[in-house]
């Protein structure tokens, strides 16, 4: 039996869902100079039942030669979005690699309006300049 929590007061649930769509930017890349530029669009949705604010981010960027870069910073693209349950925030950012393929993953640090702190996992995704070459695109 709970302590004063009835059916009308569900336990707080702190959860953001993250969707990532990476894209190779051939026009900004220089393969002969070992420079591959990528954009990624991220949609963050508050699928919990408590409003919360994204405070900071941590990224792990890896290329296919084992080079690892850790990036930390406040907010995303200059924002620290406050999301009520069901609300979304979408942004596009970018990164560069010295190889045509690599991966990214990371996390967001968030604080709910009730003061609870929680982390949101950003699942690993692939950055791939090779499969995005003209003539090799998959149309959906």
**What's the pLDDT band for 140 if we cut at 50, 70, 90?**
very low
Measured CA to CA in angstroms, residue 48 lies from 81, 98, 118 at distances of 15, 38, 12
Q: What is the pTM of this model?
A: 0.84
| DSSP helix/strand/coil, 27 | helix
Spatial separation of the C-alpha atoms in residues 72 and 57, rounded to whole Å: 6
Domain limits of the chain? 16-128
Indicate the CATH number for domain 16-128: 2.60.40.1470
Is a pLDDT exceeding 50 seen at residue 119? yes
pLDDT tens, position by position, 27-56: 999 999 999 999 999 999 999 999 999 999
**What's the pLDDT band for 8 if we cut at 50, 70, 90?**
low
Give me the percent of the chain exceeding a pLDDT of 70.
87
- pLDDT at position 66: 95
The residue written with tokens 């190779």 in the block is 24
- pLDDT at position 1: 42
**What's the pLDDT band for 12 if we cut at 50, 70, 90?**
confident
């Amino acid at each position: 039996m709970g302590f004063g929590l009835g059916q009308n007061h569900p336990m707080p649930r702190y959860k953001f869902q993250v969707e990532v769509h990476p894209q190779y930017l051939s026009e900004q890349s220089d393969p002969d100079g070992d420079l591959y530029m990528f954009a990624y669009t991220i949609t963050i949705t508050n699928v919990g039942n408590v409003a919360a604010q994204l405070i900071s981010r941590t990224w792990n960027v890896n290329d296919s030669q084992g080079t690892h870069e850790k990036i930390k910073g406040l907010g995303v693209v200059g924002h620290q979005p406050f999301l009520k349950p069901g609300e979304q925030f979408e942004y596009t950012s970018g990164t560069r690699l010295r190889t045509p393929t690599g991966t990214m993953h990371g996390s967001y640090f968030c604080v709910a309006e009730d003061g609870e702190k929680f982390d949101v996992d950003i699942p690993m995704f692939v950055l791939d300049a090779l499969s995005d070459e003209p003539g090799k695109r998959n149309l959906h």
